[in-house]
Each structure stands twice: as C-alpha cells, then as structure tokens.
Amino acid sequence: MGLSACLEIGSRRFQALFEHFGSAQAIWKAPLAALQTQLKPALAEKIFAHCSQTDPQALLTRVLAQGYQICLREDPHYPAWLASIHDPPFILYWFGNAECWGHLDRALAIVGTRQATPYGLEQARRLAREWSALGMTVVSGLATGIDTAAHQGVLEAQGRTVAVLGTGLDKISPAAKRGLAREIAREGLVISEYPPGFGGARWSFPLRNRIISGLSQGVLVVEAGEKSGALITSDAATEQGREVMALPGPISSPQSAGPHALLKEGAALITSTGDMLEVMGWTAHFESHFKPDLKASDLPIGLTNDENDVYLVLSEMPQPIEVLAQEIEWPISQLLTILTQLELKGLVQQWPGSRYLRSGSAAHQRHHFQQ
C-alpha cells in the first residue's frame, strides 16, 4: 500500500523492482544507491523520499477507516483472469460485496462512449440485464454513457456488476455516480488500483481499461467514436487473448464508427444474448441448464392447448417475439394474444424490446449460479 501511494510506481515498475529486490519490504527499505541501479536518478530520489517520509501503517489505518478494503496479488481471492495478464495490478482497493470475488469465472465487459445515443444506451442496458439474469458478472468503468447503462441494466436484474475506476475510491466524479457506486456495491464491487485521495489523471483512465478487460473473458464494444477510450479496452482485450465483440449501429452515426472498424478487423458481431453465447462457446452449457425439455407433467395446470404450445417454446432466456413466432409457426398477432394471457397468469415475463421468457427465470438463474 505504501508503494502504491507513490504514483510513479505502476504495476510494471513494481514488478521489475520486486524481481530485483525480492519483496515489497526490501523495495521500501532499499538505500538510494540501490534504487539508482534500477531507476533513473531523479525517479529513484523521488521514490526514496516517498518511502522515507511515509508511514504505511498510517495509510492502512486511514483506508480501513474509510470503509475500504485491499486485495493483494498474493491473496487467494485475487481474480485468476486478471492475474494472468502481463501487467496485473499489485494491489486493488475495493468496497462492495466480498462474495462477488468468487463469481468472476463468467465475467464479460460492456464498454462504450460517453456520448452515447439512445440506441446505444438501450442496447447496453438490455444486454447487461440479460447477461446478468443468466448469472454472469458484467464489468465496466462507471463512466457516463454506455458504462452507466450497462451497470444499470445489471441492477435491474438484481445481479452482480464490477465498476473499475481511474481514480481513488473516494474521488468518484461526478457526484451522481457515487449513488450508482453504492448500488453496485450491494451485490458487486467497486475497485481501483489507485489509492484513496487520487483524483485521476489523463493517463490513469486508459491504464484502468486493461483491468476491465483483464477481469473479463470477453469485451463488447457497444458504441465508440474513432478515438474512443473503449477502443483502448478492446485493444487490451486482444493483447490479453480475450474475445472482442462489437454491436453494429446505424452507418450514419459517428458513434458506430468504432464498432464497425472492429467488425472489419474480425471482432464478433453481437446483436443478441444468443450471439454472445455462441461466440463465447457457452451455448451448450446454458441450454443444458436453462432450456430443459418440458414434460407434460411439468406444464402449469389449467392452461388451454394454445397456452401450452406457447409455454413450451418459451425458455429461461429472453427471446424476441419474432423468434418465438418462427419457432411455433404462428402469426405474431396470435402469439401476442396468448403471451398476454400467460403474462396475466404470472407465467410469462416481458422484457424491453418485445422479448419474453418464462416468469421467474431470472431469479432461478441467479440462484443456480450462486450454488
């Protein structure tokens, strides 16, 4: 913690010093001459002065008093996916639900521009809500626009989301985001590699993007301009061997330029949760858990023949009305009538975008993954 409070010591420099000196304590107590053998003279003097004048125990006491926790790279619950990148943070500051650390084995990032369109906000929110309902953890950066929409979609599904900051935990800005961070912390996590008190810098936000992708097995870019920070996250994902996905948008929209460029470069095209499951290779897993073949004895009692037919084609994943109509081979108008009847009976749940699933499925899915 004492070393992280010296902002000149990033993850790569820490790793190099650690390999040379053998421990964080040895770095802390190293003479100036020893530091100068590894660093430029001015930088060595700055780090030496910091270590000489700072009380690490006082830092720890202050951080804990603020209600924050720390996670070291040596800790058992340090995320394995994040530890596998070439420059993982040597310390993470965090607050939230500690159980979330154990639910990062199926984590996906949703990122995008701050200048999002209504279309982008709707799609980010929808996909985050659906993925969360399947028990996945959604990672993003708490920024205005697509990031916020993704976090909000997860909260609507009462799921888990992780917000990665480019500032200290106590410097969330604007103030409106602090309330969102508290909501995220109920089931998820708010984390940063930077110590409390750090207000952020131009370089800190691009650096945090490697953590967003590092925590995730795949990254979806919803909207991004040609020079958006979201593309830095996708670049990091590529370097880390993660799956890169992109949501197409109107060709006339500047915010679609980034995703469309990624698609030209080979990113996976995503328009639905089914697309994501296929790209990630998770389709069989989720179908076996969430779309079992129903037997007659499993059907609710008292349904008409038409209601039984519709109930059978529904699954525990939200499906567009067009997909359901194609599967049952009915006109959409007839299907909507029966879906409405089932919804009134509490057996069907409608999601935004005319998508339907068996009622209660989201809660069942979350329970399954918690088990």
291-370: CATH number: 1.10.10.10
Q: What is the 3-state secondary structure (H, E, C) of 61-100?
A: HHHHHCCCEEEECCCCCCCHHHHCCCCCCCEEEEEECHHH
- What pLDDT, on the 0 to 100 scale, is given for residue 337? 94
Using DSSP's 3-state secondary structure scheme, residue 107 falls into: strand
Q: Which of 46, 47, 93 is nearest to 70 (CA)?
A: 93
Q: Which CATH architecture has domain 80-284?
A: 3-Layer(aba) Sandwich (3.40)
pLDDT tier, 293 (very low <50, low <70, confident <90, very high otherwise):
low
Domain spans of the chain, in order of start: 11-55, 80-284, 291-370
Q: What is the pLDDT of residues 47-95, one digit of tens each?
A: 999 999 999 999 999 999 999 999 999 999 999 999 999 999 999 999 9
Give the mean pLDDT of 109-123.
95
- What pLDDT, on the 0 to 100 scale, is given for residue 50? 95
**What pTM was computed for the model?**
0.79
Out of 11-15, 33-37, 223-227, pick the least confident.
223-227
> Is 189 within 8 Å of 101 (Cβ atoms)?
yes
